[in-house]
Structure formats: structure tokens, C-alpha cells
Structure 1
């Protein structure tokens, strides 16, 4: 969700929703009871009449109330985000929604920010420029104390703020170059040295508040990165946030890298939506959707946005949405359909891949391959289901059957082999691939043409079968051909001084953490610790519902190897925290057909694992220079599952 900043306000914003949806009205009235004691006039009066709405002291509280109420309405319809970010005052809204600030504390901070800004001298200017940050920075040399970049809104659009003479001089130079410039209609030079006069008092107010851990990941527009540690949770952060540059473009790139493809603007007008489109574009099925637009009927605009979200696989609670409306169920015909066949008669010959112009991929998880005409590219297609790949049913995370990341790694390596790219340089897993209990999922693995260095881009997409929904990008990475890796051996086994970890209740412990492993993944035989390093013996259980035929390295065997680290570190993560491997670097397969492994897992300073896998003689089977993990949210899994269910 993208929360709009100042400039989107207009008279009557949100009032159609207020009179149509009780959930919106209740949320707005609740917020107003916290804001009104700090304001010169009731918030409802400000918005409905427009009286002093464009004064900063009223603008920011009005935007906050409208956006929070709109979010609460969407929440009643079952629409919740995976990530949050906000532009300027919109970031304060995002902080409240994420749980960092209670409603009372958020209202205190919003009104203090607005009031202190309003009381500053109305000098200075803000000018939007068609330019990049790199082009503007040299012009600011020597002016740092009275002119800055206030916001970077897209790769070629930013705003400077501060001293009017210096800003006009820079704008004039760009105009001479044929660049677009526009002086903004604002009361103050926001996000500039002109804010310095309020920083002490604002910091004092912010220091009186209580900050909590976010319950929804939030991307900071102060840093442009995913918030970690104390980001958004200190008075210093919020003081810096109102004074420094809004790095909206970088925040969007962070979200895009995290795999976000649907950006929904929460605000009274579509101001961030075009900026998002200009920054991210429409690649990979990406869409930016505005929930409201100034000058258009609010209910119609919002429901149009909801329909677009539904078409993109976002689950909607239709029962709640239609509550208090005139919508009714339309009964289907009760009579039987005519039993007359119109099926085309087939020849009775079952087509294989070659009949369709494809070549068999010769791999258990990749059904067919086609070389793209006129390009050195290959596309692999497949279908995964619990019927065709029953061993996947044994990998249950947060009560859902997930295709393990190790399976995506295996498919990527096999795809690279087809083109002689034997090293998986990197693979980022962007979101879970959930298998439904019935039916299947279509998968495509695309390998692009080599660049100048011979590296090829790789992408893994999926979508439910028989569903007219966009493809989901589950993973992306790069393949290359490089010489042999530095040799290693695990001949001395177990290593001298290693301390064995009991396995009596190993899988009960893993289940507590959220990993419910069936028989195929219960191949841990021994686990040892030596300092921070973990060693293990693993195997594919005898009589399990799969064999190693056709695999380079069976995904269940590699997943079991990584599980040794979870078991050895049991108790170091909060109960219920589920980690999945997301970032793989320098994956090399040295031998195929292994059903037993010796495993060495060595964490680096950042917690990523260096992985060495050997056969029972200690000879190399595979190596991974780095596997990094992140905690997975329940919402990620449920949203992916809902995508399978909520289709016609």
C-alpha cells in the first residue's frame, strides 16, 4: 500500500465513502475524536466545507484521517498489504497502520508536525524539475544550508526546496536546456533547511511517544530501504524524516526487488500512482492502482480499484463488501441442462511434447522446453501438483503445502545445463509457491540470452491452472559458466571435536517452529555442532515417494540438509518464527544422483550459510557460497493460496 502525501487534499474528500460505508464513517469519527482536540476547528467541518483545508495545520491531519479510514474500510473487505510505504506525511500514516504508533500517539505526532510547520515563516519555494539526482547535486554545491532536494519522485523527476532565488536560478538553467520545471503552490519550503526552526520542538513531542515493533513490513522513504531495527521507532528518525529528502523512487525499487507487483495507492487522489508507473513501468505484470481520484465519484472509483485487485488475484471478502448495499444473489436456473454433446471428436492419439513443437526437458519437474526462434533463449514449461509430484505433499509450512526453494534451485540449475550455463550465480526467491490440495500449478522457467560476459537472466513464474490471472514472479536470478570452484573435502567425518545434537524429538521441534515434514523430508541421521558450524548426515528415506532419477540434486535431500541448521539452532528464534531460504549465491553441482550426503553449514557474519555437500566418501556433490533466509509472514502464504482458490 502506498500512502499519499500533501498536495492530494481537496474539499469533500472521502465524504461519499463516509455516507455510503458505515465502516469508513466509524473509522473517520474515531480518528477525529483524537485529532479535534489539537485543531482550531473540527476536522469534519474542514473537509466538508474546505475552510482552511489547504493550511498545513489542517491539511496533514485531514490526509491522515482520510487515509486511515480508507485503509480500515479495505481491511473490513479482507484486503490487507504485504508491505507499506508512504510519501512524507503519508509515511506517518503507514507507521500507524503497521502498528509502530497507536492511534492516539500518531494523532499527537501528526498534529504537532502540522502545527509547527504552519507556524514557520512562509518564505522559500518548491520547484519540480525534470532531472536526475546526479544532475542536480552539482548545482546545490555551496547552497546546502538553504536549498536541498526535497523529494525524488521518479528517476527523472524531483523537487528542490528552500531559498527562492537559488531555486529559481537552477530552474532557469534547466529551462534553457529544454527541461520541464514547475513552481509548486505551497505555503512552506518543506523538507529543506526552512524546517530547521521547528525541529527541536518536534523532537521533544516525538520523544514523549511509545514506539512498537511493526506488524507489517514497511519501507522507509527516508532511507529508501526496508525498515530494520529502530527505523521509524525513534524521535530522531521522525525529525530527520520531515527535514530530509523523500526517497520515494528508491523505496519503489526496494519493493520491486522484494517481488511486489501490485501497488495500491491509499489517498484522496492519484498522485503516487503515475509516479509509480513512471518508476517501475508495467514489466513483470506490474500495476499501480489508485483507490480514489479527485473529481470522480468515490464509490465507483473505489469499486473499480477493487475489481482490478480481484482480477490480479487479491482475495476479497465479498460478503462484507456487499453488506448494507442493495446487491442481491441471482439464482441459477434450477432445471437440468440439455444433454446434447458438442465435443469435437479426437483422433484418439495422445500428443506428446514433440507433437506440440516442444522438446522434452528430461527432468521430473520440467515437462517441456522450447527454444525461442531468433534468440538464444529457452522457455521451460511444467505443471506441478500433489498427484504428479506426491513428495511435495510432505513439505508443509504454516499449514500449507509449499514448493521448497530448493526445488526452484534444482529447476534453475537444470535450465542452465540446457544452455551450458552450469553455475547458478544468484537466485532470489520473491514469494512462496503454494500448491492447492486439488488441481495444480503451471510453472514457466525462462532463460534469457547471454550478455557480454556470458551471464543469462533466469525467471521462474507460476499461476494456478485453469485460472485467468496474471503470472506470479516467484524467483529471478542469473546463470553463467565459470571454471571449477575451489576444491573441498569432507573426508574426516565427523570432524574432530564436534558435539552431536540429539535427534530424539527433532521433527517435533521443527513442527513447533512451523515446519511439518512428512516422510520424504525426515532424512536427518546425525547432526553435530563445532563452534558455529553445523555438520550432518542426511539421506532420502528408503521407500519414500520419490527417487533421485532425473534430478541433479533432489530438492528434498537439499532441504533436509538445510533443516539441520534449524535444528541445531533450535530455541534461538521466537516460537512460531518460520524462516525460508530466499537468496542463493554461487550454486554449483559437482555430481548427480546422490541419495545420501555429508553436510557442512558455516554461517557468515550476517547469518547467511555457506553450504558444502559431499558423498559418503567425502567427495564434493554440491556447494553454495551463500544461502540467506528471511522470516515468512502468514499473510504471504494465505494470499498465495487465495490466488489459487479465488479464480473462475
Structure 2
């Protein structure tokens, strides 16, 4: 359905600076902060062409929804204070090869996706397409105040998928391309579409079938993240009365367990009493466990006519031991995706060994950032870039500009965005870094 908003939110700003060294960058930020505080417009504090924008330059970006936020970000950077409003780094080329990562259940929050409808035409177009393709629609659930965080899988997971794909399409519209894609559980469906293995229509069908059957198999199941390696976690699962198993190898020292609600919560309580950090995941189902066995034949039958294409972007599997298996995205693959443990840390290790140092988690809220960092640290990756496209309670328009800023600081040039910025600054047109063009 069409979406209108009589009073659109103010567009956010992205300010980008570069300099030969950190001291010069600090001076630039302080000057810009003072000018803005004195009433200057954001475009007036930027040079027509960034200084020392080449390789190995020091870079700074500040993203905020208003001028006051820009002043805070600039002044905090100049004073050496942390703030989510600013990102800095050396343009060392790390962002030239970036993996796009798609998380699973647990990233949802009320309000996610709404800014995409108002602010990013390319993303809004995808959401309108999915509004027709997904059984419960997309736009009304995203706009509704009732889109709570504890909904059943068939309500929540299609919306997570929709935000993931819409966000990826917006990044694609700017000319960004991933070196590879990887998904965690549900996130593999978005990865399959972005890789080119599934059309948007087929990917939506996989999400709809998968989430509906998972809800059918829920039966009061529970899932939790525990800070144990997968082998120790498996032994503790075996010693817990009832059915609880390993559901995901998220990081070397982070494992997801799942099973009967009572058994899973008992395991969590026992581990917490021993000082092990645990976190229950907001889902009332037990994917990647024997509890989904009963729905797997139906899943295979309903998706039997899928005819996936050969991916044109490398898609690193988190289902099979071989990170590059044959038969990706078939009906049988999605049955294995729902039943087998997620091999996320193994997939990230494979990417790290291919020399990839930059990782973008695409979704409503980061759930993969900690396991990504832990796995990359274990692999000895030097100074990786790990950043998310979304943040709970932060409009996508702001969080996406922060993502672009982080990529720019590590050396990525963004042609579509850069062309808008330079043309408008040079011609003295309306605000140069207003991101109201999507």
C-alpha cells in the first residue's frame, strides 16, 4: 500500500573530513564545531573538496539528525571524548573488501524500518514489493505500534528479513558491493537474495514458509546465548535433564543453545550460578533442534519447486562444513538451515583467511557484532572494521549515515553519495550533506 507522512522527520546530516594527520583533523573538527555553534549551516563548514582525501589520510565523519548533534559529535572528537556521533580512522583500504552479514531472530524492535519508508526511496520500493509478497504484509506491521519484540516467528521474522533486504538494496543503490555475504539462521535468506541465488519473490516465499512452520513447531521452546565454546556447551546440554542442544556456533567462546523451555532456562540458571554469562533470546521456538523435525518434510514439499540461480556474489554457507557447498538455496538446503547448528564462526573464519578485514552487519539491530569481533580476534585479524547498519531506537536514516561514515574512514569512496556532496557544495545549493535523496 502507498505510504505517506504529512510531517516527515528532519533529514540527518553526514559531515566528512580528512587531513594529513590527527592533529590537523582535530583542529578542523574544533573549528567546524565552533562555526556551527555560532549559527553556520552544516554545508558552510566543509571544504569544497576534502583535504588529503587519498590513501592513508586521517578521516573523520559525524552523523546526526540536527545541528546540535553535529556540534556535539565534532566537539567530543576534538576533546578526545567517545560518542556514537563520530567515527574516525585511517584510510588504509580495509573497507575495499567488505563482507555483508545478516543476523537472525532477536534483532527486531518496535519502530524498525519506519525511517526507510520516508527517507530512502530505493529501500521503500523494496518494502512495497514485499508488502505484496509476504502473507501478513510489511508496511502496516512496521508502522503499527503493535509490532512488539516478542511476536511469534511468522510475525517477526518476515519483518526482519524485509528490513535487511531493503537496507541492502539502499547500499547497492549507492554503488556498494560486498566481497561476500554470510547469514546466521534466518539471515541466510537475505544473504541468498543479495548473492543472486534467489529472486525477491522466492526469498520472500522461503521466509514465509520457514517462519510459519517454525511457529507451528514452536511448542514453548526457548533459545539462549551462553559464553562457552561449542564443545563445552554440548557437554552441558547433555547433562541437563530434558531436551536442550547446541543451536549455533556463533564465536569461539559463544554458543547458542535451544530446546524445551524449562530445560533451556534450567541450563541458563545453572551456568549463571557458575559465573557464565548468558542471555535468553526473544523467541518462543526452538529452531536448529529436534523440535523442528516434524515440519521438515512439509518445508521440503512446499519449497520443492525452487530453482535457485548460481550466486554472482560469494555466499559463505553457515549450514554445511564446506563454506562453499553445492546445492545452495534448494528446498533441502532450507531444511538443513532450519535443523542443523549454525556454523557462523566457521564461516567468518573462512572469510578472514581470505583476507577480508571489513564486516557490515545488515539488519534492524546488531546481534552479530560481538561474535564477529571475537572470531576475528581469534583469527589474528589486525584492526578489522566491524560495523552495523541499524541500532535499536535510532532511525535508519541516522544509523545508515554512520555506517557510510565508518566505511569512508577506512578508505572506501562512495561514488553516488560523493557526487551529490561535491556538486551541492560547489554550486552553493541547499545543504550539502542532507541525506534526503536516499
TM-score when normalising by structure 1 = 0.47
Q: 1:437 matched to which residue of 2? A: none
What are the superposed Cα offsets for residues 38-65 of structure 1, whole Å, 9 maximum, x if unpaired?
22xx321111114355221121111111
Is 1:316 matched up with 2:414? yes
Higher Rg of the two aligned structures: 1
The structure-2 alpha-carbon separation of the partners of 1:145 and 1:93, relative to structure 1 and needing over 3 Å to count, comes to: farther
What are the superposed Cα offsets for residues 337-380 of structure 1, whole Å, 9 maximum, x if unpaired?
xxxxxxxxxxxxxxxxxxxxxxxxxxxxxxxxxxxxxxxxxxxx
Distance in 2 of aligned mates of 1:226 and 1:275: 18
Is 1:11 matched up with 2:110? yes
Q: Which moved further from structure 2: 256-265 or 157-166?
A: 157-166
Would you say the 8 A contact 1:225–1:251 is kept in 2?
Answer: no
Q: 2:390 matched to which residue of 1? A: 292
Instruction: Choose the corresponding residue for 2:123, options 24, 31, 35.
Output: 24
The structure-2 alpha-carbon separation of the partners of 1:271 and 1:190, relative to structure 1 and needing over 3 Å to count, comes to: same
Q: 1:243 matched to which residue of 2? A: 339
How many Å apart are 1:138 and its aligned residue?
A: 2.3
TM-score when normalising by structure 2 = 0.69
The structure-2 alpha-carbon separation of the partners of 1:15 and 1:173, relative to structure 1 and needing over 3 Å to count, comes to: closer
Would you say the 8 A contact 1:76–1:320 is kept in 2?
Answer: no
Would you say the 8 A contact 2:250–2:371 is kept in 1?
Answer: yes
Distance in 2 of aligned mates of 1:74 and 1:321: 15
Instruction: Choose the corresponding residue for 2:198, options 101, 104, 114.
Output: 101
The structure-2 alpha-carbon separation of the partners of 1:80 and 1:121, relative to structure 1 and needing over 3 Å to count, comes to: closer
Would you say the 8 A contact 1:132–1:155 is kept in 2?
Answer: yes
Q: 1:186 matched to which residue of 2? A: 283
Q: 1:366 matched to which residue of 2? A: none
- Secondary structure of the residue aligned to 2:360 is strand
Would you say the 8 A contact 1:192–1:243 is kept in 2?
Answer: yes
Would you say the 8 A contact 1:225–1:254 is kept in 2?
Answer: no
Would you say the 8 A contact 1:32–1:43 is kept in 2?
Answer: yes
Tell me: higher relative CO, structure 1 or 2? Use CA pairs within 8 A at least 6 residues apart. 2
- Secondary structure of the residue aligned to 1:68 is helix
The structure-2 alpha-carbon separation of the partners of 1:315 and 1:118, relative to structure 1 and needing over 3 Å to count, comes to: same
- Secondary structure of the residue aligned to 2:104 is coil
Q: Map 1:422-501 to 2 at 5 A.
A: none
How many Å apart are 1:199 and its aligned residue?
A: 0.9
Q: 1:46 matched to which residue of 2? A: 141
Gaps of at least 5 residues in structure 1 are 333-648
Would you say the 8 A contact 1:98–1:216 is kept in 2?
Answer: yes
Which one has the bigger strand percentage?
1
What are the superposed Cα offsets for residues 302-327 of structure 1, whole Å, 9 maximum, x if unpaired?
1121021122222312358749xx98
Would you say the 8 A contact 1:100–1:211 is kept in 2?
Answer: yes
Q: 1:34 matched to which residue of 2? A: 133
Q: 1:199 matched to which residue of 2? A: 296
Q: 1:256 matched to which residue of 2? A: 352
Q: 1:628 matched to which residue of 2? A: none
- Secondary structure of the residue aligned to 2:175 is coil
Would you say the 8 A contact 2:223–2:259 is kept in 1?
Answer: yes
Gaps of at least 5 residues in structure 2 are 1-99, 429-438
Q: How many residues align?
A: 325
